[in-house]
Copies of this chain bind each other. A is one copy, B any other.
C-alpha cells in the first residue's frame, strides 16, 4: 500500500486509527479457549467489529512468538484475514546487520506479507536499507518512544546541542522517502511532537501511547497532524480488551467507533 492509498483510506473512513492486536492469550475472554485457535478467533471477531472504523492493524509479534509455532500460525492466519485495503503492520522492532536484515525483510514482507514492519535503528543504515528495497512496503523506525525508558538513551544530549532521538530521526529520514519510511513517535510526549513534525513535515508518524499509556488524542493531533493528516494513532488494550465477556467484540466496536468519531471531528478542522 503506498502513501496515496493510505491517505485516501484515512480521508474516506474519516479515521487514522490503528487497532493493535496485542492478543495475549491470558487476557482474551475465557469462553474462546474452547476454540481450536482461541487467539485467531478473538482476532477474527475483533477485526470484524472494528474494520469499518480503522485504517490499520498492528500485530505485536511478541504476543505470538511467546506461543512458539502455534503463535506464528495464528499470526499468519490473522494477517490473511485482514481485509486487503487495510494497512498491516508487524510490530517486530527488528534490527540487525545487512545479511540478517535481508532475512527479516523476507520474513515480514514475503513469508508474512505485511505492508509494514517496525525497526530499531541502533545498528545504523545497513540494518535498515534492505527493508527499503521492497516496492509498496514500509519501514517504520523507532524515533521517540512512549515508554519511561525512552529517556535513558533517546534523550542523551549530543555535542551538537541535539537529543539523540533528533539525530536518529534526521539521519534515518535521509535513507528513505516519505513513501517507504514512517517513524514511531510517542504520544505521551505531545510537547515534543511539534518540533519533531517540523523536522519531518511529510512523513507518516505511527503514534502509540494514546489511551492506556495516557496520551491525549487531541493534543497529539494538534501537535503533529499535517495537511494530509500524516499520522496513524494506535490503540491496543483500550479497544481489544474493552470487555472480557462474550460481548467483547461489540464493546470493541463501540470503543473503536467512538475513537473514529473523535478523529473525524479533529480532521474536520483541517479538511473542512
Contact = CB atoms under 8 A, between A and B. Distances in A.
Given A62-B100, A69-B72, A147-B98, A152 B124 contact: yes
Interface residues of A, number: 60
Interface in A90-142: 91, 93-101, 103-104, 106-107, 110-112, 120-128, 142
A133 to B, nearest CB: 15
Given A96-B93, A97-B147, A158-B159, A106 B152 contact: no
A113 to B, nearest CB: 11
B126 A148 contact: yes
Contacts of A168: 153
A132 to B, nearest CB: 13
Contact of A147 (B69, B121, B123, B156): B123
Nearest to A94: B93
Given A62-B96, A120-B122, 15 more contacts: A60-B100, A63-B100, A65-B104, A65-B111, A66-B106, A66-B110, A66-B111, A93-B94, A97-B149, A120-B120, A123-B145, A124-B148, A124-B152, A156-B159, A158-B164
